[in-house]
């Protein structure tokens, strides 16, 4: 099986870290459960300048490396790898965040998983002239059987794969979204992802 796994809020608890950062940087008390918009400027009521500072801070190596692992992520992925499945982590982080992102994976026992940066969200402007390691045309040549994603904004990246099974990791910002078709399933933990992928 070829498997796509998103990084932020699938492998690690990015939004919970942003919730703390919002308090530290701007005195905004937005608990994780209240992050109802994937657009963090909207969830944290930030102006453009604050949002830019927020995203730059959130992508600095010390912050990226501090993100907590979503429970069970690395053990399920390592199980897949040991069964011979082909797993790619495809993140919307810019390529400037590649090294610390790679290091985070290595530190969490995921040395053998591939990592690609793809401009999924069109929000590369927060780090000027960002590069991404994966061009859209290369991405569209990749085939997947299963995907783990949390962001409705990334769903358009699956429309070219009509039989792809998409597991949507339950997060407050996807509670109100409509799934594009019946191949999408809401999941609440890596334990359920393990079960569904194995069935
Ligand atoms: Mg994500």
Give me the mean pLDDT over the 93-113 stretch.
Answer: 95
CA of 26 to the centre of ligand 1 (A): 23
Instruction: Determine the average pLDDT of the residues in 9-19.
Output: 97
Region of 72 please: left (phi>0), alpha (psi -120 to 50) or beta. left
pLDDT of residue 96: 86
Percent of the residues in the chain that have a pLDDT greater than 90, as a whole number: 85
Question: Tell me: the pLDDT tens digits for 30-79?
Answer: 999 999 988 889 999 999 999 999 999 999 999 999 999 999 999 999 99
pLDDT value of position 13: 98
Cα(101)–Cα(132) distance, rounded to whole angstroms? 13
Report the mean per-residue pLDDT for the chain: 93
Length of the chain, in residues: 199
Q: In this predicted structure, what is the pLDDT of residue 39?
A: 87
Max avg pLDDT among 4-18, 87-101, 118-132: 4-18
- Which fold is adopted by the domain 2-11+70-198? Rossmann fold (3.40.50)
- How far does the centroid of ligand 1 lie from the alpha carbon of residue 83, in Å? 25
User: Ligand 1 centre from 73 Cα, in Å?
Assistant: 13
| C-alpha 42 to ligand 1 mean position (Å) | 17
d(CA 22, CA 46): 9
6-26 as b/e, with b when 16 or more CB fall inside 10 Å? Answer: bbbbbbbbbbbbbbebbeebb
**Residue 152 alpha carbon to ligand 1 centre in Å:** 9
> Dihedral sign, CA of 173, 148, 197, 78?
negative
State mean pLDDT over 23-30.
95
Confidence label for 94 from pLDDT (cuts 50, 70 and 90): confident
Q: What is the pLDDT of residue 119?
A: 85
Count CB-CB contacts under 10 A for residue 62: 8
Distance 168 CA to ligand 1 centre (A): 10
Q: Round to whole Å and give the CA distance between 49 and 45.
A: 12
C-beta of residue 87 within 8 angstroms of C-beta of residue 73 = no
Structure confidence by residue, pLDDT tens digits, 108-142: 999 999 999 998 876 655 555 566 788 888 899 99
Give the domain ranges of the chain. 2-11+70-198, 14-66
Please count the helices (runs of H) and the strands (runs of E) in the chain.
8, 6
Q: What is the pLDDT of residues 136-163, one digit of tens each?
A: 888 999 999 999 999 999 999 999 999 9
Spacing, Cα 114 to ligand 1 middle (Å): 16
Residue 107 has pLDDT above 80, yes or no: yes
pLDDT category at 198 given cuts 50, 70, 90 is confident
Strands 86-91 and 2-5: parallel
């Amino acid at each position: 099986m070829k498997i796509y796994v998103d990084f932020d809020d699938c492998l690690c608890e990015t939004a919970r870290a942003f919730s703390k950062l919002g308090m530290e940087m701007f005195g905004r008390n937005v608990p994780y459960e209240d992050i109802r918009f994937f657009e963090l400027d909207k969830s944290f009521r930030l102006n453009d300048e604050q949002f830019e500072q927020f995203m730059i801070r959130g992508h600095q190596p010390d912050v990226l490396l501090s993100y907590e692992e979503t429970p069970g992520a690395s053990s399920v992925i390592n199980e897949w790898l040991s069964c011979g499945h082909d797993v790619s982590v495809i993140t919307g982080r810019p390529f400037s965040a590649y090294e610390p992102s790679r290091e985070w994976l290595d530190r969490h026992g995921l040395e053998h998983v591939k990592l690609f940066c793809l401009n999924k969200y069109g929000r590369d402007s927060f780090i000027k002239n960002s590069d991404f390691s994966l061009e859209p045309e290369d991405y569209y040549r990749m085939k997947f059987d299963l995907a783990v994603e949390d962001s409705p904004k990334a769903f358009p990246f699956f429309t070219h794969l009509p039989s792809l099974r998409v597991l949507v990791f339950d997060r407050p910002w996807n509670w109100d979204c409509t799934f594009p078709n019946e191949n999408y399933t809401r999941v609440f933990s890596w334990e359920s992802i393990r079960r569904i992928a194995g069935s």
